[in-house]
Each structure stands twice: as structure tokens, then as C-alpha cells.
Amino acid sequence: MQPRPHVVIALALLAGCGVGATDAADELWDDTRDDDGRDDTVALALAGSVAIDPGTTTNAERVETLPVSRSEGGATRRVVMQLAPAQVPKLAKGDRLMVPAEVQVTTRCDIGQTAPGCGYNPNVRAQLILTGNPGDTSAAGNSVVIATQTETCTQAEHHCMFVFRPGDASIDVPDMPCLANGSCHVNLVMWAWHPDARSGDADKVLVGGNDGNYLDNGRVDGDQGRLMVIRERRITGGDRASRETSGGGDITVNTSANPVLIYSHRLKPAGEDLQANEQFLVEARIVTTVSTRARFSTEMFLTRNPNAIDGNGVEAITPAAINEHNGVNCTPGGACVTRKVAVFRVDRRIGDAIYVNVIAKSAVPGGGSARVTVQRNAGSVRSLRYAARFAR
């Protein structure tokens, strides 16, 4: 049986596990209190409020590919995922808006493949925009850029992840025209470029994964992305209750694509039930090393069983599936760091202990074996809980 991870205070662990002092996204977690499971139920006249939305939970990607242009300036920008006004909580000037997201992209060509357009590693940029225009791809006019990430996706990696952590993808909402009429959208816009790309947008980056040999069949495997939102209004650090799970030593992940439990994180202390209208934000960090190139994919899910390696969610929690199964190809020579993000709400009281389990699967592309090791002391699962009284 695997050793069980231990729960620790978030602030105490940050320096020791390598996720803290230099990471700006951890400022959110620094500004929390330890979650003892109990809350002040006295409603104050100016009490804050929190609203979340998990976004589209199935096939959130709106496009299958990104054209690769020869220059960034000439690149075609596409809205890859979107939160419509019905999914964006009502906003007011001064609200804090956080937009966690995961999206996987895949190079058209895998390592070793030879074909036109295979001889380079495309640059890919992802940008989150708050806008009143559903087709906005440039943050023009009254739109606001929330966060931007850029990555060169190599053929050795083949699959690359863009993960926007809430502490990084966060703004104080300015005065915008879309606030008055509730027409604000959040667009996740992406574009790709490389000077060696063929003309006429002949080359592509896949949004999602390849379904077999893309060069042969042209098929894209989607449903590997998620775009979410959290709106805080008059919330302070004392209103955010946090817990963290880490440790347990190194664990070897088989390369037969069989799931392995990495972490099991209890959402509340023993003896404390989940209450209706509680809202949660969860982040995971998984640190892996490999002896040779290996596919490494992960997923988070809710369960009553701390040893479960699969799950269909927990009734009375929305959404049932809190996270997507996605991943990268890890390569030797350094740490391969995976990030996961999720939000969800409790619909009614749950008397049982509920866990967030993180599982991993691995395989060697083309067959063979590799030594795949997860350094559990270097990673963690963290949950941030907003008490039921803030849900409005």
C-alpha cells in the first residue's frame, strides 16, 4: 500500500517544496487562513461575496487547430475557449476576477516524423481577455488582457500544456461598458507562428491531442481543456480557508498506461461536513523525472475513497467532473512539472469525507519502457474554501 500523504499548513510548506518564494501565483495562497473547518456565521452588513462558474465541462474547445504563420504579427488568432455572459458572474468595478484554465496543444508532427512542415518547433501564445465582444481576439478598445503565456512546443514534447493558475490569471475589474449590461465575455485566444512555417496556413497546431497519426488521418482528440472563473467581492485573506497535502516520498509510475494514485487530499478536517453553497478552488503541482521520453498525463477527481484511481464525481457537487485528463511528453534532463486547476461548488450538505484524488498515467510513445518517478515531496494539492455565507 502506498504511504498516505500528510496534510500541512500551506505557508509552512511553501519554502520546503519548491513552489513558493519565487512564484507570484502563490501570493493568493499566502493570503489565506488555515482551514479548521469552522466558519464565523455572523453576516456583516458589508460582508463579501464569491461566485464561481466551472465553464463548459465537455468539449470546451471551440476549434480543432491553429494555423502556424511565419510571423507573430501575421498569425491568425482564434478564440479557443470562451465564457459567455451567462457563465461570467455579475461583475462590478473593483471586483477581483480570477480565470483558471487548462488547454493542451499538440504539434502536427511527432518526433521522428518526416513530412512537409515538420522541421521546426512552433511558438504558441495563449491570452485571456475580458471583453464585451465575443469575437475579440486582440483586446482592442475597452477590453482587458487578464494574462498571457507563451511556449515553444517541441516535437520531443509533442503535447504541451498551458495552465493559467488563478493567482496569475487575476485582475481587479476596471470600469468597462460590458459591466452595465452584463455582456462581459472571457475569451481564451491562441495563435501560433514560426519563420519556417509553410505559406498559406498549411501548417497547424492541434488544440487537444492527436487521435492516432495526424499526418495520416487528420483527426484531433478534443475535450482536454477547461476555462473557469472566480469572482471575489470584498473578500480578504481571512475569508479564504486553505489546506495542503504533500509528501509520501517518490513513487514510480508504470508505463503501461495504468492509473497510479499520486495524491489524495481531504477537503475538510475530520468531523467537519461539507456544507451546501461552499465553493472550492483546487490546484495541484506534480513533479516528475523520466529516464527517457515518456507520455505523462494526469487528472483530478472527487471521491469518497482516498485510494480510488478512477471516479465519476460525487453527487451534490457541481460539476461532477472537476478536471480534464490531459498531459505532456516528459523528456530526460530535468524536472517535468505538471499543473492542475479546478473549481466546484457543494449543492447540499455531505456528511462523508470527500477527497480530491490526483492520478497519473504514463506510456512510452512507440513502445518500450522508461523509469517515470513522481517526487511527491516536491509537489502538492491545495484547496481554497469559501464559506457558504459568501455564495451570493
- State pLDDT tens for residues 277-321: 999 999 999 999 999 999 999 999 999 999 999 988 899 999 999
| Residue numbers of the domain that contains 136 | 46-235
210 found inside a domain: yes
CATH code, domain with 168? 2.60.120.660
Residue 323: per-residue pLDDT: 97
Would you say residue 124 lies in a domain?
yes
Q: Say whether pLDDT at 9 is over 80.
A: no
pLDDT tens figures, 57-112:
999 999 999 999 999 999 999 999 999 999 999 999 999 999 999 999 999 999 88
**Do 221 and 253 share a domain, yes or no?**
no
Specify if 22 maps to a domain: no
Q: Do 304 and 351 meet the contact criterion of CB atoms below 8 Å apart?
A: no
- Whether 229 and 145 share a structural domain: yes
* pLDDT of 161: 98
Predicted local distance difference test score (pLDDT) of residue 39: 81
11 within a domain of the structure (yes/no): no
Q: 33: helix, coil or strand?
A: strand
Sheet holding 326-330, edge to edge: 260-266, 355-363, 294-303, 326-330
Do residues 137 and 178 both lie within one domain?
Answer: yes
Instruction: Say yes or no: 213 and 277 in one domain.
Output: no
Q: Do residues 227 and 302 both lie within one domain?
A: no
12 within some domain: no
Domain assignment present for 62: yes
Give the pLDDT of residue 313. Answer: 85
In a domain, 386, yes or no: yes
**Among 75, 274, 297, which residue's Cα sits nearest to residue 192?**
75
Q: What is the CA radius of gyration of the chain?
A: 21
Residues 154, 58 share a domain = yes
Domain match, 208 and 312 both: no
Last residue of a domain, one of 208, 235, 262: 235
Give me the pLDDT at residue 4, please. 37
One domain, residues 294 and 315: yes
Number of domains forming the structure of the chain: 2
* Single-letter amino acid, residue 100: P
Residue with cell 472571457: 186
Overall pTM > 0.85: yes
The answer on 84 and 57 residing in a single domain is yes
pLDDT at 41: 56
Report the alpha-carbon distance of residue 327 to residue 310 in Å, rounded: 17
Same domain, 82 and 128: yes
Final residue belonging to a domain, choices 196, 216, 235: 235
Of the two residues 126 and 311, the one the predictor is more confident about is 126
Grid coordinates representing 349 are: 450538505
107 and 204 both lie in a single domain: yes
Which of 193, 219, 235 terminates a domain? The answer is 235
My answer on whether 137 and 243 are in the same domain is: no
- Residue 64 domain flag: yes
